[in-house]
Amino acid sequence: MNLSSTLILAFVGLILGHGLPGAIVGAVIGFVIDSLRQSQRYRAAPQMDGLYGPLFALLGAVAKSDGRVSEAEIAVAERMMTRMGLIDEQRRQAIASFNRGKQPEFDVTPAIDGLRQWVGMRRDHAFPVLDVVIETVLAEGNPPPEKMAILRQLAFALRISDMELMALMAMKGYAWNAAAGDRRRGPGGGGYVPPHRNTHGPDPYTVLGITRSADERAIKRAYRKLISEHHPDRLGDLPEDMRKRAESRASEINAAYERIKAEKGFK
């Protein structure tokens, strides 16, 4: 525990309290402050080991869901391990989890439930988790329905709407209309419309989750809500890779907002 407040207030008590009694009172007050700070840090710091197992198991399941695991998908998983700064034992466990997720009999539900429990009520933690899974979903380009089904199941468990998921996909340069895909699915899952790469760049309205007819107040409200949820300063002690992802999303949100402001002509 960092005892900086204990020492500082003990010194202040010694000076202002004219001796040992004042120092003792100051030290007690400082110790209480330090204990509360330590407790808050412990509660705020996510237990990262509770993330890696279900996350990499789910990445393995996503990679295998279309029948084969590609080199691109393996490369994504390895890149994640490096970016997240996994040490040797954590890396071995992550590889074992990924391989377990590749098994034909693997059930994604417990892994998704593990991620849901890790995220808890922190929506700002849900987005980086989804961002990592989306990278695997898009590793080979336009994703098949099997991969999108797992992604949408995870998003639902993390209380992320299809509209918000569409916005995350748009930030990756992919256009997707979840409702249109469902309407055209038909009996037996036919007519699936996969997300496709948007050659014109992210649609700023999709990024903000609004329609083109939205007024200035609705646009500003959507922007403030999004930038608050995706701001990297809210993430706490998450791996640096996840913080960089949040910074990238915040940059996309700011860029989309500036494009819409220029188009609509408001400040």
Specify the higher pLDDT residue, 36 or 262.
262
Query: Based on the domain organization, do 39 and 54 belong to the same domain?
Result: no
Average pLDDT of the residues in 146-172? 91
Q: Would you say residue 103 has pLDDT above 90?
A: yes
Quick one: 76 and 30 in the same domain? no
Give me the residues paired with residue 197 across strands: 174
Considering the domain architecture, whether residues 105 and 205 belong to the same structural domain is answered as yes
Rounded Cα distance between 231 and 235, Å, is 8
pLDDT digits (tens, 9 = 90+) for 53-91: 999 999 999 999 999 999 999 999 999 899 888 889 999
Q: Is the domain of 28 the same as that of 59?
A: no
**Which residue range forms the structural domain that includes residue 89?**
49-264
Q: 74 and 167: one domain?
A: yes
- Do 220 and 153 lie in one domain? The reply is yes
For residues 212 and 80, what is the distance between their CA atoms, to the nearest angstrom? 36
Q: State the pLDDT confidence band at 156, using cuts at 50, 70 and 90.
A: very high
Would you place residue 32 in the very low, low, confident or very high pLDDT band (cuts 50, 70, 90)?
low
Q: Are residues 36 and 61 in the same domain?
A: no
Question: What would the two tokens of residue 133 be?
Answer: 């899974």
pLDDT grade, residue 42 (50/70/90)? very low
Sequence letter at residue 257:
Y
> How large is the average pLDDT for residues 205-230?
84
Residue 235 burial (10 A CB sphere; 0-12, 13-18, 19+):
buried
Count of structural domains, the chain = 2
76 and 199 housed in the same domain = yes
Radius of gyration of the chain (CA): 23
